[in-house]
Structure 1
């Protein structure tokens, strides 16, 4: 406490000194003649700075020293820091924002997408098959052909791929291709036979083996049914995973991400992240969540590992309650409109309750994937039971900030339960602009009133941490910002049932990607805004996202990314 008071007092004194300096006229001549040289590490001048600090919302200059912001104000006040060995960068009016925080992603998946067979952005089944064949022909020694990123909703064929499709291009080696959302995969006949999957194979809890009209497997495995095949695929080595994590972070800082909340991890991956951090090769911050199972139990038993520099922390557990909308795995109260199913629920509230109660007692955050309205309701049921069973006197911390990830379709009464239980809806705007092309087929128009309710949640007082769910989606903060404010696809298309009234303002979209993301990780006192004394994360764009027309957002570029006071990307 005393240390915090001293730090606050020092910060206030520095702020007062800078304010007095600006108040004296702030002219170049006055500053140059009277100011004492206090060289910063980096000084940014002539910028359009959006601080996301309500008390000082805009600025034109920033000084950074020892990984923190030591000055935020006008150009005149920054001159005392632009001396000695300071790296002074003239931004020439470019726009500056707090570093963007990815509130829900999968970092090793992002990296493996970069280094392996990447099927994202493919626009037809025929194009995907050609890409797989080209990759297989170029890698004749690989025992398995493994890829990720395909998504049939944009294909003219309008159907899932089948094992027969894959057999035509790779008949002699097993093939395993995961849909972009990670909730379904397609295999060829070689892989199917290796896994001993037949038309009589039992569907696992929370999964489904799709069959054709003759009762034979199509090759499509939904959610937990993928477990039939995954153990057969040669596991990546630790070196492979480490290389993927590094590649993922290096890719992200080029886009403006400075923080990443990793939704589902393991202690092995966390230790590899620690190695990268020690080697100076972890390009951005990671807030890690252990996956449900042994890793989660160990976190509850051992307690959180909180980095005082907020670079690599683990204090969260990720649970997956249902599947995805596209593969009809999301769990709904009423059946799908285009198939006789209500989706797939992986657990009951009672099954996850012991872990939730243990997490409350250990001070561990919980985040749970829930997409369908039934899944969201049951997660809220489980959270409420845990809160009732573990009174505040038995909790390690009272400010728990439990989350529901995606919260894509929520009944009106359950929106109010989010607010009453103080549960954070962690949402990814790009899901809406992709899903809404087929969501009407899946759910019908009426249920789309309950879908992607950003505006409804905010108006009721919710804080929404925003992200992309990369590599499920592309993982570009420009897309997330655009989707949140436009509620249109990237071609400017909207349709009946897209509910443009649920869009958010640009100021809210910026908060979703900055301070609200920091809040979701208990880091709002150190990150998420450009303020004196906070850790120096920021991104500079060559166009101002806050004022340019919507259709120009995707033509803007991140030209400078700073993480922890270090330049990680400069164009």
Structure 2
């Protein structure tokens, strides 16, 4: 990236007068495509000026406001866009996986066990042995390893594995014992502990909420390892061009809140992190958030006064502790403190590819399922209804994981009850994945202002299997982005990493534009969107989803200088090559937080935040798996992008 002084540009700007309404810029970008993402059609400007962490000008180079110290950056033909926004991912969870056994690509049970044994040799004797990323359907045996098989990894030590969806897994006897799960433990609502042929003994495999019970008992990450979990994840997200990350489902681990609080206290994050609390830890996370706000942004400094009238509802009944916290600090869910914002609550209404909850049966049952199988719900209606009753009138968004149309029905029913009681609000409930939706459901989503966040990489990675299990009709209309576009409705794309191995936003866009499955077939050609609309799904629409459209998502004056510089313009390359475009630089509020190998940072650097492929990348506190090494290697060589 070539940086030129303002004086060197004097001849080019001779006779020009700086825009009197705009403050002097610290940096002006020009010399490449600057795609603003403002509007329904592509719009470009010749120059973009930033100062004080914000965009101060967008227009012609001649009109850009400059002073003696203004730097003019020649993009060298590269493309400048708004920084990408993660609309559904698990950055903290991903950071933990960086030090776990990599089970991605395993072909049989023997290979799963072999990789776990390697991990066991690297792991302290008092720590759990954990692996992530296998796919039972793709293993030669077509099943998940059993408890007895996992016992052979390291006798007497807890062993836990989680599949690539994050919804299925297995544990050995020691892990079950550590979690307090016995043969007498009943299946939790929305989950299953597989049993041996006697119908009583724990077989090892677990589904959904049963897995969560065991996963939550893993010993916490502390000290430097806790630092590395969040900084490793943040730096990887930044290397993918993301200036706003997300962890939606914080609380899956019993140490998640402490890890995020540690990051706030130490100011570790180079990019923003939007957090959604797992429903069961909402009150605890809100209490922590209030303590953070009181510590770093005292109410008196912001003229915030506890509204005692909101401590009780209209009937005089005391509100929940969460509602009281929000009443005491109405800004609690609206502001970032040291780059962290508590923005939502997460509910899982159903499961993954083989446990999605449908109104009609699967076309072909997944392994182990018999009879007329339609998947199953994870929570009762009453739980979701109560959440909407508590939070519909707050700024705290309810995010709901759903794959099947029966789960979407449950969500819409809960919203309808809240609207009937409190009226319409600008709540923007998020339908995470929203994989299969009926036309009548889309109409109701429009009515209630609900936004779908489509997991487009699942089409590329599991489209063939969905076509088999769900049937061609449901698979063809999975993640119906083009239907939403034609209806004039916002939609977003997400990677859900680590459910997908990489948090690559360009891979997400590519999948939504092309919908090409592993077999090479196009799954649902009528639901493909244009490259521009694919970019809207991770910029302007993404900002709208998280209620930050006033400050993020487009290159417009007054918004944050959250930027990404790409090697090529996604609108000017073959659509099937979008995922191969390299991120050259990521800029957060005017400061470079990632720059690729051989590139000079365009923005003012902060040595504590910048991740430069030519600079030192702190090593994690434990050995990394092969996938983890490759993942962190993306910070050291842009060419490693998958």
Shorter-chain TM range is 0.7 to 0.9
1:29 match: secondary structure: coil
Please give the alpha-carbon distance, in whole angstroms, between the structure 1 residues aligned to 2:271 and 2:455: 20
2:85–2:539 contact (8 Å) kept in structure 1? yes
CA distance 1:169–1:118, shift in 2 (3 Å): same
**Structure 2 residue aligned with 1:10:** none
**Structure 2 residue aligned with 1:335:** 361
Q: Deviations over 1:310-363 (max 9, x none)?
A: 9432232212212212xx322122333312333231222233212211212334
Q: How many residues get paired?
A: 533
Question: After superposition, where does 1:69-468 map in structure 2 within 5 Å?
Answer: 69-78=55-64, 80-81=65-66, 84-122=68-106, 125-139=109-123, 141-192=125-176, 201-211=185-195, 215=199, 217-230=202-215, 232-237=217-222, 240-265=225-250, 269=256, 273=260, 276-277=263-264, 279-296=266-283, 298-303=321-326, 304-307=332-335, 311-325=339-353, 328-336=354-362, 337-338=364-365, 339-340=369-370, 341-392=373-424, 398-468=425-495
1:411–1:450 contact (8 Å) kept in structure 2? no
Q: Deviations over 1:453-479 (max 9, x none)?
A: 122222223211221111111211121
2:498 to 471, 477, 481: 471
Higher helix share: 1
Please give the alpha-carbon distance, in whole angstroms, between the structure 2 residues aligned to 1:387 and 1:49: 42
| C-alpha RMSD over aligned residues | 2.9
Please give the alpha-carbon distance, in whole angstroms, between the structure 1 residues aligned to 2:348 and 2:30: 45
1:306–1:312 contact (8 Å) kept in structure 2? no
CA distance 1:399–1:231, shift in 2 (3 Å): closer
**Structure 2 residue aligned with 1:64:** 50
1:46–1:90 contact (8 Å) kept in structure 2? yes
Q: Deviations over 1:475-498 (max 9, x none)?
A: 111210110000013x67126xx2
Displacement after TM superposition at 1:240 (Å): 4.2
1:500 to 525, 537, 559: 525
CA distance 1:200–1:437, shift in 2 (3 Å): farther
1:492–1:551 contact (8 Å) kept in structure 2? no
Please give the alpha-carbon distance, in whole angstroms, between the structure 2 residues aligned to 1:169 and 1:289: 35
Displacement after TM superposition at 1:527 (Å): 0.5
Displacement after TM superposition at 1:217 (Å): 4.0
Q: Deviations over 1:393-444 (max 9, x none)?
A: xxxxx31211211111122322222122221112221122222131133223
1:318–1:369 contact (8 Å) kept in structure 2? yes
CA distance 1:138–1:277, shift in 2 (3 Å): closer
Displacement after TM superposition at 1:293 (Å): 2.8
2:469 match: secondary structure: helix
Uncovered stretches (5+) of structure 1, i.e. residues with no partner: 1-26, 393-397
CA distance 1:294–1:176, shift in 2 (3 Å): closer
Which shows bigger deviation, 94-103 or 37-46? 37-46
**Structure 2 residue aligned with 1:560:** 585
Please give the alpha-carbon distance, in whole angstroms, between the structure 2 residues aligned to 1:309 and 1:527: 17
1:419–1:461 contact (8 Å) kept in structure 2? no
Please give the alpha-carbon distance, in whole angstroms, between the structure 2 residues aligned to 1:460 and 1:34: 44
Please give the alpha-carbon distance, in whole angstroms, between the structure 2 residues aligned to 1:84 and 1:309: 33
1:111–1:244 contact (8 Å) kept in structure 2? yes
**Structure 2 residue aligned with 1:15:** none
